[in-house]
């Protein structure tokens, strides 16, 4: 079976609809075809200021949500990144083969450091992409399910894997991004020119999966569309309506042409009301399943402990090989 790996940050508590449609749904699907490893990447979360109690709670909450979304510990490996020390260890080797200028060109670092204020940004935020490279390479991943915003980091991963292999001999698999075009970028409901984001969206534009379903319905009803009235998919001319159609289509399985036909001659109000209903039907059981995992922390922690053990078996072998290739003396 080919391998899949992806990581998701536990930063904000609730996952949002962009995380779910752009990434988590693909994690669930790839369990069927791949030997899949998924990680709650808490080391990445501390690249920006964190409250310790919140981070701990949010890491368990992230795992609970991934299980509620359909990850099955019998069919994939789910673990917390800090439980597998090889991630930080391989990241060091990746830092040491990355050019300073190369790392400086990462657009996510530029965006996030600008948002935090250049002098507030940490060295950890700067080296974040090389940690992500290590995350992926440790598992010899063939496929990495992510949203469009991670494409540049995936390109860096491929470059560093090839660089290491050509300098030290074949060691790492060169992975492919698994980015589904239709859902790779879900937009903010209030500003359909920017991606929905944990850290950058306004509360009204950000659909958190764990929000009160009523509040979520309201956000859809007041989503920004345009002054036209026609319900038609056109990402350029009608980004707001197109975003709503993408969400609707992905959650229900109805094709976009089918939806365009269904709403022909009807106003935006009808589309928004129906989509609000679709969302409520989706998030209500999702919230319940998440809560059920949180109510049973022993089971949750034991799933994560087993996942970490399985992950370490693979990761320690890859790291040992990489250490050997760069010329470290074996620790016997």
Minimal distance in Å, beta carbon 324 to ligand ATP? 32
Q: Is 198 a catalytic residue?
A: yes
The label of the residue with tokens 């994690």 reads 27
For residue 210, the number of C-alpha atoms closer than 13 Å in the C-beta half-sphere is: 17
Which residue's CB is nearer to ligand ATP, number 22 or number 213? Answer: 22
Q: Which of 195, 219, 238, 272 is catalytic?
A: 195
Which residue's CB is nearer to ligand ATP, number 235 or number 292? Answer: 235
The whole-angstrom separation of Cα 19 and Cα 25 is: 9
How far are the Cα atoms of 81, 297, 315 from residue 149, in angstroms, in the given order?
A: 21, 33, 26
Point out the residue whose Cβ comes nearest to ligand ATP: 22
Minimal distance in Å, beta carbon 208 to ligand ATP? 11
Minimal distance in Å, beta carbon 201 to ligand ATP? 8
What is the C-alpha R_g of the chain? 21
Which residue's CB is nearer to ligand ATP, number 109 or number 172? Answer: 109
Q: Which of 198, 218, 306, 310 is catalytic?
A: 198
Minimal distance in Å, beta carbon 196 to ligand ATP? 4
Give the DSSP letter string of 38-94: EEE-HHHHTTS---HHHHHHHHHHHHHHHHHTT--TTTEEEEEGGG-THHHHHHHHH
Q: Is 181 a catalytic residue?
A: no
The whole-angstrom separation of Cα 51 and Cα 88 is: 21
Which residue's CB is nearer to ligand ATP, number 200 or number 278? Answer: 200
**Residues contributing to the site for ligand ATP (CB under 6 A):** 8-9, 11, 18-19, 22-23, 146-147, 149-150, 184-186, 195-200
CA nearest to 94, candidates 130, 138, 140:
130
Which residue's CB is nearer to ligand ATP, number 116 or number 306? Answer: 116
Q: Which two tokens stand for residue 16?
A: 């949002």
Minimal distance in Å, beta carbon 66 to ligand ATP? 11
Residues forming the active site: 112, 195, 198
């Amino acid at each position: 079976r080919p391998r899949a790996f992806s990581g998701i940050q536990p930063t904000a508590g609730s996952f949002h609809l962009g995380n779910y449609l752009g990434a988590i749904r693909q994690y669930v699907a790839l369990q069927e075809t791949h030997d899949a490893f998924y990680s709650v990447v808490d080391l990445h979360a501390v690249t920006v200021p964190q409250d310790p109690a919140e981070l701990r709670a949010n890491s368990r909450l992230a795992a609970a949500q991934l299980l509620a979304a359909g990850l099955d510990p019998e069919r994939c490996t789910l673990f917390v990144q800090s439980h597998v020390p090889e991630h930080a260890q391989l990241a060091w080797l990746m830092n040491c083969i990355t050019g300073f200028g190369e790392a400086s060109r990462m657009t996510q670092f530029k965006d996030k450091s600008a948002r935090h204020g250049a002098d507030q940004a940490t060295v950890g935020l700067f080296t974040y992409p090389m940690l992500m490279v290590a995350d992926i390479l440790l598992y010899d991943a063939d496929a990495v399910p992510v949203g469009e915003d991670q494409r540049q980091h995936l390109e860096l991963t491929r470059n560093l894997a090839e660089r290491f292999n050509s300098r030290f001999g074949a060691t790492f698999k060169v992975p492919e991004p698994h980015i589904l075009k239709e859902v790779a970028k879900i937009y903010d409901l209030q500003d359909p020119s920017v991606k929905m984001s944990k850290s950058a969206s306004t509360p009204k534009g950000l659909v958190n999966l764990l929000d009160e379903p009523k509040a979520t319905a309201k956000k859809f009803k007041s989503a920004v569309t345009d002054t036209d009235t026609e319900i038609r998919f056109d990402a350029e001319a009608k980004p707001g309506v197109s975003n709503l159609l993408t969400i609707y289509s992905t959650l229900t399985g109805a094709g976009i042409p089918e939806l365009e036909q269904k709403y022909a001659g009807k106003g935006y109000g009808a589309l928004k009301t129906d989509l609000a209903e679709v969302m409520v039907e989706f998030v209500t059981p999702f919230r319940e399943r998440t809560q059920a995992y949180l109510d049973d922390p022993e089971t949750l922690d034991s799933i994560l402990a087993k996942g970490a053990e399985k992950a370490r078996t693979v990761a320690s072998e890859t790291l040992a090989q990489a250490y050997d290739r760069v010329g470290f003396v074996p620790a016997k």
